[in-house]
Amino acid sequence: MSDTTKTIAIEELKLGMYIERLDRSWLTTPFFRHRFILRDEEDIRLLKKYGIKRVVIDPAKGLDVEEPVAVVHTVAEQSNLPEPPPAIPTSAPVSVPADSNSSAHRPASIPSHEEVAIAGLVHSESVTAIQRIVEGITSAVRLDSPALNTMVTRIRDRLIINRSAMMTATRLQQLQRFDAHIFSHVVNVSVLSMAIGIEQDLDGHTLEELALGALLHDIGETRLPLNLFRKGEALTASERHLLHQHPPLGQAMVHDSSEITEAIRRIIVEHHERYDGSGYPSQLRGEAIAPLSQLVGLVDAYDTLVTSRYGRPAMTPPQAIRQIYKLGLAGQFHKTQVEHMIQCLGVYPIGSLVELSTGERAVVVSTKPELSVKPSLKIICDAKGHPYPSPLLIDLSEPDEGPTRAILRDLDPQQEECPIETYLAAP
């Protein structure tokens, strides 16, 4: 933090000030950008509403207490999360139109059918490409770096053009009702890791290393018996020991590839290490694990939780988020990394089935990192369980006339017999 910063009471806050830090976790507020110029009186109202008493400002980047109010329009915003909160919040009540419909009222935050289809094509082609590349390495063929880089560029561009569409395509793959294939899994991890990296404002080179490391992190599994990954029941102790060999096996597979940087090699061998030293293969602890390795390991754990493996049923995205949060509190993952992931994916990630305060049920179809507790929804049925002829499309971050809606809880789509994939892929 800059030595020009100062702490002021919330009552002294005014437009044009540059906020460096709050007196509580950003996860309990609707803000994702953790350092920013204050431009809107509504932001001050929200800070007060969420219980903020004191803030840290930097007069070198914005107004000081004694300066007159002004509005600054641009600023480089960076992430700086404090300690996590004691509980995961739910979204605040927001007014929305009562007569929204899919044809006349599509919030800009909700991706169109065509955008999801394009993203799905990028995802499926990436799965095919990484399978060809990894099988080539297994056959002692030189690593196809140009193809890898092209894949990373296409995924990154899709995330920048329409983040929600690419995340939706990833969730649709996760919803497939069979054990996730390694190549689908690594593309999922690369997409989600890159989305988080973009929100953290990682520079281009670091983002590329993150994405490539995520695509290659499980290549060692291709050296293990295939039936190990087709088991419909939990692994035995000896099978788990065998599985734990895949990070060093993967590292050995790229040993002679000059295009693979040290950061990528570390992701491959360290993605199962844990911050508290409980991971494998080397039981590394704390900062001995590279930050990019920590991030890929975190996303790898999340994607594994939301897909079916080794006889374990898949968790819903909110369940997986809560599990990851608990693991962060227990010390397995860096708390700040966990907060970054939750802010990016949302407390209710894309594809979550939720019950609203109105009794209606809805599917989360888009999230905003800067407003992670206020997703966009397709409301699919009324309080009595009767399906709407066309889903009502609403954005909880855009108040309007109509009933006040808030997310009460998440639901299990299988128990509710709700085909989530239908609503995510539908026009």
DSSP state letters, 205-243: HHHHHHHHHHHHTTGGGGGS-GGGGS-SSPPPHHHHHHH
* Neighbour-count burial of 45, counting CB atoms closer than 10 A to its CB (0-12 exposed, 13-18 middle, 19+ buried): exposed
Alpha carbon distance 252, 59 (integer Å): 51
Distance of CA 366 to the CA centre of its chain: 12
Give the pLDDT confidence score for residue 299 in this predicted structure: 98
- List the structure tokens of 77: 């915003």
- Domains along the chain with CATH numbers: 1-82 (no CATH), 94-106+348-425 (2.30.30), 113-345 (1.10.3210.10)
DSSP state letters, 326-380: HHHHHTSS-HHHHHHHHHHH-SS-TT-EEEETTS-EEEEEEEETTEEEEEEEEEE
Mean pLDDT by 10 residues, the chain (427 residues): 80 88 67 67 78 87 73 36 38 38 62 91 93 85 88 94 94 74 93 95 94 96 83 83 94 91 97 97 97 98 88 90 95 94 94 95 91 87 93 85 84 93 86
Give the pLDDT confidence score for residue 64 in this predicted structure: 87
Alpha carbon distance 41, 16 (integer Å): 10
Handedness of CA 168, 290, 279, 229 (dihedral sign): positive
Give the pLDDT confidence score for residue 68 in this predicted structure: 61
Give the pLDDT confidence score for residue 70 in this predicted structure: 45
Alpha carbon distance 51, 67 (integer Å): 25
Handedness of CA 132, 135, 141, 146 (dihedral sign): positive
Contact by Cβ (8 Å): 226, 183: no
277: three-class secondary structure by DSSP: coil
